[in-house]
A and B are shown apart, each in its own frame.
Chain A
Amino acid sequence: MTALLEVSGIEKSFGGIRALNGCSLTVERGMIHGLIGPNGSGKTTLFNVLTGYENPDAGEVRLDGVVITGIGPGKVFRLGIGRTFQLTRVFIRLSVLDNMLIAAQHQHKWLRSALRSPGQGGERAKAMELLDFVGIARLAELEAGALSYGQRKLLELAYLLMADPDVLLLDEPAGGVNPTLINQLADKIKELNSAGKTILVVEHNMEFVMGICGRITVMHQGRALLTDVPAAVRSDPRVLDAYLGGAEDEGLEAEAVRTEGGSK
């Protein structure tokens, strides 16, 4: 296995708060890699740094050996990292299909893109195929704002796939999604993984994480505490300590309750 995504010594502060404090981790090619940790441990900030939404104060991120820190979110996406957001972000006043087509725009030269009509050259067909893959093809002509929360998550995943990224960063894909859909989602993620995608997933639903991930990194106070296979992480005393002890005293159980309570 080779390293696809290397994070080394990332530091990021917001005012007096150190969100990331020398965070380093390696995601291997073809892996479903889980990222867990108590609230405030820096998981989402790390995602923001990885995808160019935040510039780190120190440290660097490499994708396949190339440094991608500080190049901005658009370029990171072009280089093959697609990410979903904890609170889904779809274009609510565009149709589901148009949402899909937006993610394909970067593949064209800017001036030509101004003149062509969206969806040409097989893009529309590809969009419909991917919507079918996540199971919302029948909603293609609907305004995205009319979708349920879970459907929006599926749409967000589907439109990322329009660009065929090598790496998918999923920020709480199962949060607020009903149990049936969670299982479907897990299947889709596994399917994408066996199709060659490397996946980094932040998730509080432990069953979900343990079920799909080949490696898990536990974040604690802006650092990667440990990285191991799910069984080892489950029994490691430091993990329980991170969740139950320390400054952030939101326990594993509390997390589980919160996740379930948030689902519709």
Chain B
Amino acid sequence: MAILSAKAKPISKGKAAVVVAAIAVIAVFPLVFTNPAVTEIAIFALMFMATSEAWNGFAGWSGYFSLGHAVFFGVGAYTFAIIANDYKLPAGSGLFLLMPVAGVVAMVAAVLVGAVALRTKRHTFVVITIGVFFIFQLLGYNLSITAGASGLQVPTPYNWNAATFNNPFYYAAAILLGFTVGLYWIIRRSAFGLQLLAIRDDEERAKGLGVPVWRVKLSAFVISSFPVGMAGALFAFLIGQIYPNTVFNPLFDLSWALMTLVGGIGTIAGPLLGGVVLESVQQYLNLYLSNADIYLIVYGVVFLAVMFWMPRGVVPTVGDALRRRRGAGEATIAATNNGGTDSSSEGKATGSLAGVVQEGGK
């Protein structure tokens, strides 16, 4: 039997081609579009693709909606600024090496937050994470180490060429994205990822089958804080000045949740698609129309439209449609191959309407 012999799930050629093309586009983008305004939009797009992916890697796969992941963004940003200032580190590309350090400090914060917040059930968890978020923002405003409302200045490499100033940040963001996607691609295929999805479907049952739910949940929470912390550090370095409300920003979590839901929650590609589209639109609107948060209206409209027409998100809906079309042509082969590859990483991981109906009906 084919299923018995298939060990690891094979990667389809189409998917591999898309990945290679995406890497190529990301690699040459700043060489083609040299306008700093454009590369800045691209940096934010990459950063939000990575952070949405991380948010989804916890919230989308465990079913625990965190609205407090911006805590780790802020902790990462402040870690970066404080270390760079206190040790009087020279403003240069060496500062990028502080990103993983900021990520690790964010993980420490995640252990503390998770140890408390994850003791609650799903709905309470959402409320607790909002509360924890505002506690951290308040700490940012009141601690002497964060300099309160006046914020912290971060060393800026003024000696870099103005025309290509954004490029190092761009590639740092690209590497962060590559790392995050790779990380979650591995997790999705590991037993750990499977346990996480089981918790999403029925936590008590998973516990009854010997899945160490507490450890799995906390680990997933802490792992997802690492890329977010690194993104916070990158943000601080790029902007040059941080304030409690710009890094402990409540709109970050809403953005990540929205990007994930629009793209397709529980999928690898969903948050990437949602992130690149929505963050680019947001940055574009901010830059060329006004600073008056017009993007929030756009977000609202997009959210309603997607929830109305494709409640599972774009990636699973379009993926299923494509599969159906392809399936008509090569029915027999597709039955074995697609079952193991395409649907496992996309269709299967999503909250299908059929599943919800079944659950309600039993």
Q: Which residues of A contact B (CB under 8 A)?
A: 51-53, 72-78, 83, 85, 87-95, 97-98, 101-103, 105-106, 108, 110, 113-120, 124-125, 128, 140-141, 143, 145-146, 149, 159, 163
Contacts and interface: CB of A to CB of B under 8 A. Distances in A.
B201 A163 contact: no
Given A74-B208, A94-B197, A141 B3 contact: yes
Nearest to B187: A114
Nearest to A98: B194
Closest 5 CB pairs of A and B: A106-B210, A141-B339, A145-B355, A91-B201, A114-B192
A117 B339 CA distance: 17
Contacts of A114: 190-192, 219
A91 B194 CA distance: 11
Contact of B194 (A52, A73, A101, A163): A101
A26 B348 CA distance: 43
A206 B314 CA distance: 50
Contacts of A115: 190, 192
Given A116-B190, A143-B348, A93 B215 contact: no
Contact of A88 (B4, B200, B362): B362
Contact of B208 (A77, A97, A120, A140): A77
A93 B355 contact: yes
Given A91-B198, A145-B352, A83 B191 contact: no
Interface of B: 1, 3-4, 7-8, 189-192, 194-195, 197-198, 200-202, 204-213, 215, 219, 266, 336, 339-340, 343-344, 347-352, 354-355, 358-359, 362
Contacts of B359: 92, 145
B191 A118 contact: yes
A149 B207 CA distance: 22
11 contacts: A74-B207, A74-B210, A77-B208, A77-B210, A91-B197, A93-B352, A106-B211, A143-B347, A145-B355, A145-B359, A146-B354
A51 B210 CA distance: 12
Given A73-B208, A102-B206, A145-B355, 16 more contacts: A74-B212, A91-B198, A91-B201, A92-B358, A93-B200, A93-B355, A98-B197, A110-B212, A116-B190, A118-B190, A124-B7, A141-B3, A143-B347, A145-B358, A145-B359, A163-B209
Q: Which of B189, B208, B340, B359 has the largest number of chain A CB atoms within 10 A?
A: B208
Contacts of B352: 93, 143, 145
B241 to A, nearest CB: 39
Contacts of B350: 93
A257 B191 CA distance: 44
A19 to B, nearest CB: 19
Contact of A94 (B4, B198, B207, B362): B198
Contacts, number: 132
B211 A105 contact: yes
A137 B301 CA distance: 45
A91 B210 contact: no
Nearest to A123: B191
Nearest to B9: A117
Q: Which of A93, A94, A105, A149 has the largest number of chain B CB atoms within 10 A?
A: A93
Contacts of B194: 94, 98, 101-102, 105, 118
Contacts of A73: 204, 207-208
A127 B249 CA distance: 47
Q: Which of A52, A74, A102 has the largest number of chain B CB atoms within 10 A?
A: A102
B1 A128 contact: yes
Contact of A113 (B7, B192, B204, B362): B192
Contacts of B206: 91, 102
Given A89-B205, A102-B195, A97 B3 contact: yes
A89 B195 CA distance: 15
Given A73-B207, A113-B192, A120-B7, A92 B201 contact: yes
Contact of B198 (A78, A83, A102, A116): A102
Contact of A159 (B209, B215, B344): B209
A113 B191 contact: yes
Nearest to A51: B208
B211 A102 contact: yes
B113 to A, nearest CB: 21
